[in-house]
Amino acid sequence: MLQSTLTSMLTVFPFKIKTRNYSNTIITAITNFAQSVRHNASTENMLLQQHNPTSAYVHLPFCRKRCHYCDFPIVALGLSSPHGDEDEDDPRIVNYIDYLCREIKATSVPSNYNKSPMETVFFGGGTPSLVPPRLVSLVLETLDAKFGVCSDAEISIEMDPGTFDVKKLKDLMNLGVNRVSLGVQAFQEELLKSCGRAHGVREIHEAIDIVGSCGVENWSVDLISSLPHQKSHMWEESLTLTIQAKPTHVSVYDLQVEQDTKFGSLYTAGEFPLPCENQSADFYRMASEMLRDAGYEHYEISSYCKSGYQCKHNYTYWINKPFYAFGLGSASYLNGLRFSRPRRLKDYKDYVQNLENGLVNCFQDSKVDAQDIAMDVVMLSLRTARGLDMKSFGKAFGSSTLLSVCEVYKPHIESGHVVCLDEQRREIAAEEFSSLLSEGNKINEVLAYIRLSDPDGFLLSNELISLAFNVLAP
């Protein structure tokens, strides 16, 4: 069973990915597996130079207060002045934005990449909507001066109910922000209070009205399941109200109790008042069924969208494309390496100073093992409905590796947790798959993708991805 997680993956991905995700053991394994098999340099170069980075994650760490489940790198500002309408900006925000812009300016473009304009920018946090638009503008101007920003770039910002009004949202839209991710989390007052959220249900409805009145076409709602004392009827109500609000995108995340949080001192995963594993799985199945019935495509393990409204920025991660990241605790992915910035504010400021002085080289000794890249590709691809492109995988890592992955998934194809598809994305029956596999190279000709079934395969993603890891790094 997929363990309940609401894990900050800022050490692996640079965005607030509070998701039903892979265990920390699996994530760590990407970089810690024994490097017993190395491919030649030409293979590594082929894998690393397919794309120029055209996405940037920007971490704005400010929150009114720390939620009880949160272990992200944040700066708590207090509950006053949520809209940032004061004549003078908060000096803590001003100072951070200065360091952030300095980091962007001092960042070098790897020599093997061409300088390409940004096609996506994602402001995550924290609560980025606490930052005044004039300071968000400084960051966008700095990015544009350094890399360029496409005129039609997807520019996303996370916003919490109660932290913005019509004026602030319109000001952000005038800067080019064209996608909003609204941190609702739950529609029940008691659940919001138990999580330590700074907003209530009234602020949620006000925020939804503001997004609608401002004409934001592309917007998402974030929900969290498996909260303390959360019942099935509560989760159903949150999903129903979300569907009625008609966002173009919905993200459904499942709680993990992190050790260094208030929840970590109060609760144990799977024990009352938290739901047990079976209840958490039922929440996940309910979300998948209700959202798909409402016309949302379940395109990624925790992400649903109306047709044409996938989050372009996040899809950069799922296809393992390189990207920049800036700010406290964020992690970039360049030259096949994930480089994490410090999570403590003082250390981050020291890092920026050292970067400006030429004392930081994110690409020094950047030897990348093809084995590590293969595990990245498998883990990220199997998060998506598209699945793992087996033909590309075979070309990059060899037919023997492809066959080994097929062998390990054979029982799970028979059980229906793993689905095989041909180039037209027609399903290959388990019997046909077994026959093709027994003929060796025949499987290479017919099999185009493998993916996890929805929802039951996604629910076993930890275990299924671990199986592939054991093949790739025995």
Report percent pLDDT > 70 for the chain: 87
Q: How confident is the model at residue 14 (pLDDT cuts 50, 70, 90)?
A: very low
> Who has greater pLDDT, 474 or 23?
474
Q: Which of 322, 317, 326, 325 is CA-nearest to residue 335?
A: 322
If phi over 0 gives left and psi between -120 and 50 gives alpha, with beta otherwise, what is residue 190? alpha
Report H helices in 124-200.
Answer: 133-146, 166-174, 189-195
Q: What is the DSSP secondary-structure string of 309-354?
A: ---HHHHHHHTT--BEEESTT-EEEETTEEEEPPSSHHHHHHHHHH
d(CA 65, CA 282): 31
- Each residue's pLDDT tens digit, 196-230: 999 999 999 999 999 999 999 999 999 999 999 99
Q: Report whether pLDDT(157) > 90.
A: yes
104-141: pLDDT as tens digits: 999 988 877 888 999 999 999 999 999 999 999 999 99
Strands 418-421 and 179-185: unpaired
Q: What is the pLDDT of residues 268-309, one digit of tens each?
A: 888 889 999 999 999 999 999 999 999 999 999 999 999 999
User: Which residue(s) pair with 305 in the sheet?
Assistant: 249, 297
Q: Return the closest-CA partner of residue 236 out of 294, 158, 305.
A: 294
What does the pLDDT read at residue 37? 30
- Of 189, 216, 192, 198, the C-alpha closest to 160 is 198
Instruction: Output the pLDDT for position 47.
Output: 52
Cα–Cα distance, 87 to 347 (Å, whole number): 30
pLDDT beyond 90 at 86: no
Would you tell me how many other CB atoms lie within 10 Å of the CB of residue 166?
12
Res 437 pLDDT > 50: yes
How does strand 303-305 pair with strand 249-254? antiparallel
* Exposure string over 383-408, b if 16+ CB within 10 A, otherwise e: bbbbbbbbeebbebbbeebbbbbbeb
Task: Give the Å distances, CA to CA, from 293 to 241, 289, 306.
Answer: 14, 6, 11
Give the C-alpha separation, 83 to 75, whole Å. Answer: 16
